[in-house]
Amino acid sequence: MTRSVYVTGIDRGDGRQVVELGVMELLTRQVDRVGVFRPLVHEGPDRLFELLRSRYRLTQDPASVYGMDYHEATALQAEQGTDELVSVLVDRFHQVARDYDVVLVLGTDFADTQLPDELSLNARLANEFGASVIPVVGGRKQSPESVRAETRNAYRAYEGLGCDVLAMVTNRVAREDRDEIAERLASRLPVPCYVLPDEPALSAPTVAQIAHALDARVILGDDSGLARDALDFVFGGAMLPNLLTALTPGCLVVTPGDRADLVVGTLAAHSAGTPPIAGVLLTLDEVPSDEVLTLAARLAPGTPVLSVPGNSFPTAAALFSLEGKLNAATPRKAETALGVFERHVDTAGLLSRVSTPSSDRLTPMMFEHKLLEQARSDRRRVVLPEGTEPRVLHAAEVLLRRGVCDLTLLGPVDQIRKQAADLGIDLGECALIDPATSELRDAFAERYARLRAHKGVTVELAYDVVGDVNYFGTLMVQEGLADGMVSGSVHSTAATIRPAFEIIKTRPDADIVSSVFFMCLADKVLVYGDCAVNPDPNAEQLADIAIQAAATAERFGVEPRIAMLSYSTGTSGSGADVDKVREATDLVRARRPDLRIEGPIQYDAAVEPSVAATKLPGSEVAGQASVLIFPDLNTGNNTYKAVQRSAGAIAVGPVLQGLRKPVNDLSRGALVQDIVNTVAITAIQAQTPEPLPGLSADLADLPSEKATAQ
């Protein structure tokens, strides 16, 4: 039977979309077929469903998502009664439920619905759907006593109407009251109660939303700038020095369009990061000259400048009535929302209460969810040497908002801050270090000189070498100042991993350093190795790659069934290349008899059950291999790229294995999500490191350079 979760409320303004998004995230970790049903809907686009559809790649027909609109429901209830309304909605719900393992039900929104006793209607629908309920109570601008009382009353209301209440969520409470409210409610309710603080970035409108609401002209700015959150409004009419002291991080500066001095001054302050602003809104339908706009564009590339015809008073009234909305066009808000949900909700506990059926498959989305969840469970620090690269900065923002790991970015600090400001990115507590000026450089030079003395490296030469961001980052990992490193978005593979070979070196239990790719196909995740490091491994090295790849697969939730690939299956072929694979297979069986392995075997026999039944009947690997080991780099590299491009697979990697501490390489074409996934993998690898000597005493007390709030 389909298990359903019904997220509902007691009044409008509870910020329930954060909970609905968070629950969807949990459900998609567990199963790969999640449906959505909204019993009643207002006319116009459904922002939340569009967000869920784009973020979770839902294939559900949008027409099946909705029971009926509120006008139709009100008329039906008035003419034929509540029983008939409920009956129709139950029928439409079951049309969705029959096609999915679990259904997320989005309750009514208590806004201009004209439905009597809306809470009771939600409770009855949940019971008729056989759904468990998560009621959400809004606590914004309420006292702790009021919030606690309202939450207890909401629980009694739904429980008294016969609902299976999974948990209570109290949302948007004052940050300073969150812990007290959570502690008091924990002792007063028989079900878990999760208390979420108010997050200004969620209620803040984006610049794009402001432009749409005010019908403003976009004079300057790009999509990234328009996606910034306007956390505050500062109205400029005074002289520039006075305005500069009033600026706050993330503010939208509202000023008459004829004040070119204020436009240039605020954008110059933004460029310097003191502080970064969301943008500038010009009133009175006045726009500075082309010369001023050209200067403005150079000072702060991408920063939006808008123009409206009205004066400041009606503009202010319109601005203060706006509130940010989660939708498909605000992916950064979605990351913030999930970060809030995951920090304050016992996600594992809540998921266990939902009791969804576990999927036998590991889909790409489930794999990505598990990566972030596992990395978050034991946070590590990862250093990113390419701190000025926009993709890296965007990935850093996602990682920080989701609480996946702690980060250090390398590069000229002023350049990183300016680039982050231009992109509208908040780096929060991310550490920023410039290897060229860092106090660590002298100590690192001495350390590197000792490591490479046998190659004739002097301290003077080492001082130049460790100024390179990849060498500096690798030394941070070696000396325990970071747990792992990810680079390669603008550096070659050699530039990324050579320092690791020289400094971190190979684990005692590994013969060589090798790599794997996690190939996320439509319905499963395969592990390919080695596709990036070793050109032509011999039989012993190939066996080592297979054993390491099996361990890597298992660590990341892929049950290892190893296929040692060749152009021949079983005993059907011979020759040096086939013999190498056959010898490597025998070595793996001798070293690790617990591993399931088949080889030599052709790719089709390894992954396609019908071919396996003909070529290797009875094999416990053929037709269901999950770890595929290629005989050489030429075959492996070309195959992973062919599958990636032809089958539309997501290739995560290369993930290096065999190093004493984790360092991973990125493709220079890596997308932001690729970087996020690779950093998460690196953090997970660092959670169970090899026992190594501790941090050098002469380095432990050296300061790191922190970023100011962006």
d(CA 710, CA 651) in angstroms, rounded, equals 32
How much is the pLDDT for 702?
Answer: 41
Residue 709 has pLDDT above 60, yes or no: no
Q: Is the pLDDT confidence value at 497 over 60?
A: yes
For residues 498 and 521, membership in a common domain is answered with no
Report the candidate in 218, 366, 372 with the shortest Cα–Cα distance to residue 303: 218
Candidates 666, 367, 395, 351; CA nearest to 515 is: 666
C-alpha–C-alpha distance, residues 684 and 473, integer Å: 18
- Section 422-435 average pLDDT: 87
- What is the distance between the terminal CA atoms of the chain, rounded to a whole angstrom? 49
- Rounded to whole angstroms, the Cα distance separating 52 from 202 reads 17
Structure tokens at 245: 């002291």
Closest of 678, 207, 654, 661 to residue 396, by C-alpha: 678
Q: Contact at 8 Å (CB) between 357 and 31?
A: yes
pLDDT confidence of residue 699? 42
| DSSP character at residue 392 | H
Please give the pLDDT value at position 694.
35
Q: Is residue 695 very low, low, confident or very high in pLDDT (cuts 50, 70, 90)?
A: very low
3-state helix, strand, coil in the chain (%, to 5): 45, 15, 35
pLDDT > 90? residue 511: no
Q: Is residue 434 part of a domain?
A: yes
- Based on the fold, state whether residues 526 and 642 are members of the same structural domain: yes
Residue 705 lies in a domain: no
Q: Provide the mean pLDDT of the chain.
A: 87
CATH number for the domain harbouring residue 588: 3.40.50.10750
More confident residue, 408 or 575: 408
Instruction: Give 598's strand partners.
Output: 563
Residue 329 belongs to a domain: no
pLDDT at 475 over 90: yes
Task: Give the residue among 19, 649, 681 at the shortest CA–CA distance from 340.
Answer: 19
Same domain, 182 and 258: no
347 contacts 373 by C-beta, under 8 angstroms = yes
Q: Which of 320, 353, 387 is the last residue of a domain?
A: 320
Q: Cα(477)–Cα(380) distance, rounded to whole angstroms?
A: 11
- Whole-angstrom distance, CA of residue 525 vs CA of residue 362: 6
Length of the chain: 710
Phi, psi of 103 (to 5 degrees): -125, 130
Cis peptide before 275 (omega within 30 of 0): yes
State how far the Cα of 530 lies from the Cα of 546, in Å rounded to an integer. Answer: 9
CB 599 within 8 A of CB 628: no
Residue 224 pLDDT: 84
Judge whether 706 lies within some domain: no
d(CA 132, CA 351): 12
Tell me: do 35 and 97 sit in the same domain.
Answer: yes
Residue 104 lies in a domain: yes
Whether residues 137 and 220 fall in one domain? no
Please tell me the predicted confidence (pLDDT) of residue 550. 94
Q: 131 or 692: which carries more pLDDT confidence?
A: 131
**Judgement on whether residues 519 and 452 belong to the same structural domain of the protein:** no
User: What is the per-residue pLDDT across 352-372, written as a single tens digit (0 to 9) for each?
Assistant: 887 655 555 666 767 877 888
What average pLDDT score do residues 333-343 get? 90
Q: Are residues 472 and 528 in the same domain?
A: no
3-class SS of residue 33: coil
Confidence bin at 564 (pLDDT 50/70/90): very high
Mean pLDDT of 657-680: 89
Percent of the chain residues topping a pLDDT of 70 = 94
CATH number for the domain that contains residue 145: 3.40.50.300
CATH number at residue 234: 3.40.1390.20
Tens digit of each residue's pLDDT (9 = 90 or more) over 533-542 = 889 999 999 9
Do 695 and 481 contact (CB within 8 A), yes or no? yes
Nearest 5°: the CA angle 661, 666, 670 is: 150
DSSP per residue, 84-137: HHHHHHHHHHHHHHTT-SEEEEE----SS---SSHHHHHHHHHHHHTEEEEEEE
- The number of C-alpha atoms within 13 Å of 339 and in the hemisphere containing its C-beta is 19
Domain count, the chain: 4
Q: What is the mean pLDDT of residues 667-690?
A: 86
Helices (H) and strands (E) in the chain, counts: 31, 23
Alpha-carbon distance of 270 to 264, in angstroms, equals 10
Asked if the model's pLDDT at residue 18 lies above 90, the reply is yes
Residue 319 has pLDDT above 60, yes or no: yes
pLDDT over 90 (residue 524): no
pTM confidence score: 0.76
Residue 632 and residue 601 share a domain:
yes
**What is the tens place of the pLDDT at every residue in 611-634?**
998 888 888 899 999 999 999 999
| DSSP class of 143 | -
Residue with the bigger pLDDT between 485 and 670: it is 485
Please check whether residues 455 and 496 belong to one and the same domain: yes
Q: What is the DSSP letter of 222?
A: -
Q: Which amino acid is at 624?
A: Q
Residue-range definition of the domain harbouring residue 450: 361-503+694-700
123 inside domain? yes
18 and 121 within one domain: yes
For range 400-413, the mean pLDDT: 92
- 28 with 88, same domain: the answer is yes
Question: Is 356 a domain residue?
Answer: no
Instruction: Say what the pLDDT of residue 321 is.
Output: 83
Three-state DSSP class for 181?
Answer: helix
* Strand, coil or helix: 297: helix
User: In what helix (H) or strand (E) does residue 295 lie, and over which residues does it extend?
Assistant: helix 290-299
The CA R_g of the chain, rounded to the nearest whole Å, is: 29
Q: Going edge to edge, which strands form the sheet with 627-629? A: 596-601, 561-565, 627-629, 525-529, 514-520, 650-657
CATH number of the domain within which 394 lies: 3.40.50.10950
For residue 113, pLDDT over 90 is answered with: no
206-265: pLDDT as tens digits: 999 999 999 999 999 888 889 888 989 999 888 888 899 899 988 999 999 889 999 999
Looking at residue 697, what is its pLDDT?
Answer: 37
User: Average pLDDT of 265-274?
Assistant: 86
In 431-506, which residue ranges form alpha helices assigned H by DSSP? Answer: 440-451, 459-465, 469-478, 493-503
Q: What is the pLDDT of residues 158-198, one digit of tens each?
A: 999 989 999 999 999 999 999 999 999 988 899 999 999 99
Structure token pair of residue 617: 């009947």
| pLDDT tens readout for residues 566-599 | 988 877 667 788 999 999 999 999 999 999 999 8
Which DSSP category does 213 fall into? Answer: H
In a domain, 383, yes or no: yes
pLDDT bracket for residue 114 (50, 70, 90) = low
Locate 9 and state its tokens: 């409320």
Domain match, 58 and 159 both: yes
